[in-house]
């Protein structure tokens, strides 16, 4: 599994950073609308140009400021932007066990996407491929159904509402 943690490598390389933003130019006369338009046009052009380039499984597809985490089955990659590495998920003032528990829960959640109805269709290299043998798939489906049934029996305290099971 590829791990994209914090931010892309080019952020610490001034030459690579300048190259990344070389076509994005502002002037002191630009209005807010002009700035917004330029950024959107630049971003869209970069997206279109990516279609001509080889697929880069290590590429960060989100801003490092995003407060979320992502699993991409077609890359078999976990992306953990720097934005999530702050309270309540992480802090240098928290005990290590709290940081490990909080970040570990997020990582565990994302990794399970590799085995959900979509992620399980990809192999370890991110190729769309049925890699399950019949016995493995049937055993997994049986255990998955057991968990679904277990959660279906839970009722939210002081209500008649059952926990959403799928």
Distance CA 85, CA 92 (A): 10
pLDDT at 166 over 80: no
3 state DSSP class of 77: strand
Between the alpha carbon of residue 150 and those of residues 79, 113, 115, 116, 137, the distances in Å are 30, 20, 19, 17, 20
Q: Provide mean pLDDT across the span 70-95.
A: 95
Q: Provide mean pLDDT across the span 54-71.
A: 90
Distance CA 166, CA 116 (A): 11
Q: Provide mean pLDDT across the span 117-136.
A: 93
| Residues sharing a CB contact under 8 Å with residue 99, sequence separation 6 or more, in sequence order | 90, 91
| Percent of the chain predicted with pLDDT > 90 | 79
Q: Which long-range contacts (CB under 8 A, 24 or more apart) does 131-138 make?
A: none
| Percent of the chain predicted with pLDDT > 70 | 99
Reading the block at residue 51, the tokens are 């279609």
Reading the block at residue 101, the tokens are 């528990």
pLDDT at 137 over 70: yes
pLDDT at 97 over 70: yes
> What average pLDDT is seen over the chain?
93
Distance CA 100, CA 134 (A): 36
Q: Provide mean pLDDT across the span 40-62.
A: 90
3 state DSSP class of 133: coil
Q: Could you tell me the residue ranges of all domains in the chain?
A: 2-129, 132-166
Q: Which of 71-80, 137-146, 156-165 has the lowest mean pLDDT?
A: 156-165
Query: What confidence tier does 17 reach under pLDDT thresholds 50, 70, 90?
Result: very high
Query: What confidence tier does 156 reach under pLDDT thresholds 50, 70, 90?
Result: confident
Q: Is 88 exposed, middle or buried (0-12, 13-18, 19+ CB in 10 A)?
A: exposed
């Amino acid at each position: 599994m590829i791990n994209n943690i914090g931010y892309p490598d080019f952020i610490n390389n001034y030459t690579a950073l300048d190259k990344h933003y070389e076509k994005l130019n502002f002037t002191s006369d630009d209005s807010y609308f002009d700035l917004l338009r330029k950024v959107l046009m630049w971003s869209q052009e970069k997206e279109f140009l990516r279609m001509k380039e080889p697929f880069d499984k290590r590429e960060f597809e989100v801003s490092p400021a995003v407060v979320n985490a992502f699993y991409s089955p077609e890359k078999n990659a976990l992306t953990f932007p720097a934005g999530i590495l702050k309270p309540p998920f992480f802090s240098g003032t928290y005990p290590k066990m709290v940081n490990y528990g909080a970040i570990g829960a997020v990582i565990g959640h994302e990794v399970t996407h590799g085995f959900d109805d979509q992620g399980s269709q990809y192999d370890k290299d991110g190729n769309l491929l049925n890699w399950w043998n019949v016995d493995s798939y049937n055993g997994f489906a049986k255990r998955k159904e057991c968990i679904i049934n277990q959660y279906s029996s839970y009722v939210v305290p002081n209500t008649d509402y059952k926990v959403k099971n799928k």
